[in-house]
């Protein structure tokens, strides 16, 4: 009982103490706690932005990634708080330190930002100092993280923000390490407006977090209620090496022909993976840039590459075989009141030729006669056949610039002239006119022929990765198991091989491996160049696959030009040839010792630089004990680095104290500081690679 009594007394005393404290708080401390309540402000929930995911190539190289950029400011009233007395001792100390460090600070800023002198920095900073500005911009524009770290180490700026006042506003910036390579397909650098960046924006942007912020007295307390989830990484099917190869091959031809536009797509036959996609348009300044994804969205009359679909429909329906003979006469035939011409009609035409030869020489009369003769009484069967073989199928691509084909059905009861079906529609449609098809659809169709009739959906993305782990594999999609009977597909494979080996597609062929494909030439009409403008605008194309005996890749090249010669085989076939040989050369592996000439006794000259690679090559060639005949450079004088690789040139120039900026890819083609120039401190040399 005594112990229970002691416990009861203690509990009673605690209860009395609580009541007394509560009464004291409600009376004597009432004003204090009312003041605290007024100063406790719930600030609106703030959004915690996640890091945007990366876009990667098929082998994991970075195609698009987010890096921070900064705008830098200085607060000349750092440490001063509203309704709080000024710490005059610290203010005096800070002002004294500012004046002591100002010169060294300006010198440091000039070293980092060479465009502005130390005197200009001093005048600029003193203006803000006299105004006591809280948001005085130290440097115009944004800087990268490395530069930001350099600035933070400068005198006075290295003080804590609440003392020195230096601070940076961070902005996420989207960067493409490979420049404009496949830019229109990857996406924009600012916002998700097109391409893969838009199609997979919901995955790339991640999930925003929420932080609840309270202000208690003069302090802000932040409590994260939901952590942000960073965006997933998108692994594309694009191959950087193949993309670069296709772009260079196409650009060379566009510049030579002064063409208006060019498109090239490279696809893997078995999977439908798009390994490269190039879209080039001529800008007002004469340069070629990726402005629109014409490979997916530029629908026009495809020309003679469409003849393959027409003949495949006829072969699949069994109405003809390749031995069926057409009498083309002198290259000019009257069809339903209009003249159908072959390209060589001025030379007498092709006379009597079979279907296979008609395809080899791309005879308009040969193909149009077959289709008009066997489908003239039932054109709907022919149009249905086009959809059956896949040339008119909507591929269902997720990229927003894709436009599905327009192949109309017979309809004479319409007031829309573009949809009206006349007697000449069928023969002209059979040779690639009066239809609207984007290059990607034509390529998918030819890819199906190479794939023994299996139509694959073009694939741009194959994996989604989050936190280094694969969260989703995107498998290849088969749109049609068979676009035609196996016998018809095999026959067409043989025909397309002969088009290149003994027809108009010889320019696309290779001596190293067989190539199959079809040329295409069409006069096109658009807003700028129509049929009555007086200027002929042609759409030149070649679509095919390689190697023909064991297809691995399919490819289409299209060029829009107003200049001659208007030949798909000559122009686009040449680009196709460069692409196919370049892609196949990637699989060739040579042994360095095979290139060693046993009779050679000289040692090549090697310019000064990073000679590790040169040492390795010479060792592999058996020149083990030879000393490099290095070309020395004069101290303090700009050397000639023309022809050097970027690594050696940068190594040499930075070793001499120069700051080097490089643009382009390949060897050094030009240098902003001429060879022999006396070098000064802090000079910047611009190297252009090509």
| Among 76-85, 275-284, 489-498, 540-549, the least confident range | 76-85
CB atoms within 10 A of CB 487: 12
Q: Per-residue pLDDT averaged across 171-186, rounded?
A: 87
620 phi and psi angles, rounded to 5 deg: -65, -25
Determine the pLDDT at residue 650.
82
Q: Tokens 């003679």 label which residue?
A: 304
> Is-above-0.75 flag for pTM?
no
179-208 pLDDT, tens digit each: 888 999 999 877 788 999 999 999 998 888
Task: Say what angle helices 307-317 and 486-502 make with each other, to 10 degrees.
Answer: 140
Say if residue 81's pLDDT is above 90.
no
As a whole number of angstroms, the distance between CA 595 and CA 434 comes to 55
Q: What is the mean pLDDT of the chain?
A: 87
Q: What pLDDT, on the 0 to 100 scale, is given for residue 565?
A: 81
Which of these ranges, 30-44, 370-384, 464-478, has the smallest mean pLDDT? 30-44
Of the two residues 203 and 607, the one the predictor is more confident about is 203
pLDDT value, residue 38 = 66
- The percent of residues above 70 in pLDDT, for the chain, comes to 88
Q: Measure the CA–CA gap between 118 and 112, rounded to whole angstroms.
A: 11
Best mean pLDDT range from 84-93, 171-180, 323-332, 586-595: 323-332
Give the separation between CA 577 and CA 473, rounded to whole angstroms: 33
The mean-pLDDT minimum among 138-142, 187-191, 585-589 falls in: 585-589
Beta strands at 553-561 and 538-546: parallel, antiparallel or unpaired: antiparallel
pLDDT of the residue at 591? 47
- Per residue in 405-461, pLDDT (tens digit) is 999 888 767 777 767 888 999 999 999 999 999 999 999 999 999 999 999 999 999
Q: What is the pLDDT of residue 297?
A: 93
Give yes or no for a contact between 57 and 63, defined as CB atoms under 8 angstroms apart: yes
Q: Per-residue pLDDT for 620 more than 50?
A: yes
List Cβ neighbours of 159 (8 Å cut-off, separation of 6 or more): 165, 166
Report the first-to-last Cα separation within the chain, whole angstroms: 100
| C-alpha pair distances (Å), 682 with each of 112, 113, 462, 639, 647 | 10, 10, 47, 16, 20
Total number of residues shown for the chain:
690
- In sequence order, which residues have a C-beta less than 8 Å from that of residue 519 and are 6 or more positions away? 304, 305, 362, 499, 504, 505, 508, 541, 542, 567, 568, 569, 572, 573
Radius of gyration of the chain (CA): 36
**pLDDT exceeds 50 at position 271:** yes
State the pLDDT at residue 496.
Answer: 97
With CA atoms as reference, report the closest residue to 310 among 441, 431, 204: 431
The tens digit of pLDDT for each residue in 534-586 reads 678 899 999 999 999 999 999 999 999 988 788 889 999 999 999 999 999 87
Q: Which of 72-81, 101-110, 266-275, 371-380 has the lowest mean pLDDT?
A: 72-81
Report pLDDT for 174: 83
Of 97-111, 376-390, 596-610, 674-688, the one with minimum mean pLDDT is 596-610
| Residue partners of 666: CB distance under 8 A and separation at least 6 | 689, 690
Instruction: State how far Cα 519 lies from the chain centre.
Output: 28
Which of 442, 403, 310, 293 is CA-nearest to residue 364? Answer: 310
Q: Which of 664, 634, 663, 666 is nearest to 648 (CA)?
A: 666
When mean pLDDT is compared over 120-124, 275-279, 535-539, 612-616, the highest value belongs to 275-279
3-state secondary structure of 670: strand
pLDDT at 654 over 60: yes
CA 527/CA 98 separation, integer angstroms: 64
pLDDT in tens, 301-332: 999 999 999 999 999 999 999 999 999 999 99
The stretch 270-296 carries a mean pLDDT of 94
User: Residue 84's pLDDT band (boundaries 50, 70, 90)?
Assistant: very low
Peptide bond into 283 cis (omega under 30): no
Helix/strand/coil for 685: strand
Other C-beta atoms closer than 10 Å to the C-beta of 246 total 27
What does the angle CA 433 – CA 438 – CA 440 come to, to the nearest 5 degrees?
Answer: 130
Span 669-680, mean pLDDT?
84
Q: Could you report the per-residue pLDDT of 237-261, keeping only the tens digit for each?
A: 999 999 999 999 999 999 999 999 9
Q: Would you state the pLDDT for residue 339?
A: 93
516-529 burial by CB neighbour count: b if 16+ within 10 A, else e? bbbbbbbebeeeeb
- Tell me the two tokens of residue 99: 């004046």
């Amino acid at each position: 009982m005594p112990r229970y009594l002691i416990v009861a007394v203690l509990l009673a005393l605690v209860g009395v103490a609580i009541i007394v404290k509560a009464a004291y708080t409600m009376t004597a401390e009432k004003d204090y706690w009312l003041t605290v309540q007024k100063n406790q402000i719930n600030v609106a929930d703030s959004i915690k932005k996640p890091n945007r995911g990366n876009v990667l190539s098929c082998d994991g190289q970075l195609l698009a990634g987010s890096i921070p950029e900064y705008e830098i400011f200085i607060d000349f009233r750092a440490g001063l708080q509203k309704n709080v007395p000024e710490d005059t001792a610290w203010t005096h100390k800070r002002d004294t330190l500012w004046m002591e460090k100002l010169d060294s600070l300006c010198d440091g800023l000039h070293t980092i930002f060479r465009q502005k002198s130390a005197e200009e920095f001093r005048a600029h900073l003193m203006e803000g100092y006299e105004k006591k500005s809280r948001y005085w911009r130290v440097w115009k524009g944004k800087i990268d993280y490395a530069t930001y770290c350099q600035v933070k180490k400068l005198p006075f700026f290295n003080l804590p923000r609440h003392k020195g006042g230096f601070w940076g506003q961070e902005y996420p910036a989207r960067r493409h390490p490979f420049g404009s390579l496949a830019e229109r397909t990857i996406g924009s650098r600012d916002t998700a407006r097109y391409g893969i960046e838009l199609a997979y924006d919901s995955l790339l942007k991640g999930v925003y977090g929420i932080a609840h912020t309270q202000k208690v007295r003069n302090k802000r307390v932040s409590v994260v209620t939901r952590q942000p989830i960073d965006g997933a990484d998108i692994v594309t099917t694009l191959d950087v090496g193949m993309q670069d190869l296709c772009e260079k091959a196409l650009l060379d031809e566009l510049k030579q022909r002064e063409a208006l536009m060019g498109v090239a797509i490279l696809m893997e036959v078995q999977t439908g993976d798009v390994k490269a996609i190039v879209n080039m348009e001529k800008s007002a300044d004469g340069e070629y840039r990726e402005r629109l994804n014409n490979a997916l969205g530029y629908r026009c009359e495809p020309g003679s590459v469409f003849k393959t679909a027409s003949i495949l429909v006829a072969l699949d329906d069994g109405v003809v075989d390749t031995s069926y003979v057409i009498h083309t006469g002198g290259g000019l035939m009257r069809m339903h009141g209009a003249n159908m011409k072959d390209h060589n009609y001025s030379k007498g035409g092709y006379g009597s030729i079979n279907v296979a030869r008609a395809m080899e020489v791309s005879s308009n009369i040969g193909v149009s006669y077959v289709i008009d003769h066997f489908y003239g009484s039932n054109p709907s069967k022919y149009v249905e056949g086009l959809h059956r073989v896949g040339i008119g199928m909507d591929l269902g691509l997720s990229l927003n610039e894709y436009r599905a084909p327009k192949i109309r059905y017979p309809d004479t009861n319409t007031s829309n002239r573009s949809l009206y079906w006349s007697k000449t529609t069928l023969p002209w449609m059979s040779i690639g006119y009066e239809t609207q098809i984007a290059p990607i659809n034509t390529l998918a169709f030819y890819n199906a022929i190479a794939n023994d009739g299996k139509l694959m959906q073009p694939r741009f993305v194959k994996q989604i990765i989050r936190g280094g782990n694969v969260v989703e594999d995107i498998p290849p999609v088969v749109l049609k198991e068979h676009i035609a009977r196996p016998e018809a597909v095999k026959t067409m494979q043989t025909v397309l091989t002969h088009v290149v080996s003994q027809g108009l597609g010889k320019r696309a062929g290779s001596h190293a491996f067989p190539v199959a494909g079809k040329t295409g030439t069409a006069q096109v009409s658009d807003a700028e160049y129509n049929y009555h403008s007086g200027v002929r605008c042609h759409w030149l194309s070649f679509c095919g696959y390689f190697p023909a005996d064991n297809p691995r890749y399919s490819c289409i090249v299209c060029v829009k030009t107003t200049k001659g010669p208007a030949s798909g085989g000559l122009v686009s076939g040449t680009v196709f040839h460069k692409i196919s040989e370049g892609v196949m050369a990637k699989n060739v592996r040579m042994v360095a010792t095979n290139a060693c000439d046993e009779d050679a006794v000289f040692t090549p000259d090697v310019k000064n630089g990073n000679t590790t690679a040169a040492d390795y090559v010479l060792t592999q060639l058996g020149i083990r004990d030879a000393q490099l005949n290095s070309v020395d450079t004069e101290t303090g004088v700009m050397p000639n680095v023309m022809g050097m690789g970027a690594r050696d040139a940068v190594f040499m120039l930075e070793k001499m104290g120069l700051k080097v900026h490089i643009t382009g890819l390949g060897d050094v083609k030009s240098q902003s500081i001429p060879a022999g120039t006396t070098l000064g401190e802090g000079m910047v040399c611009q190297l252009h690679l090509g």
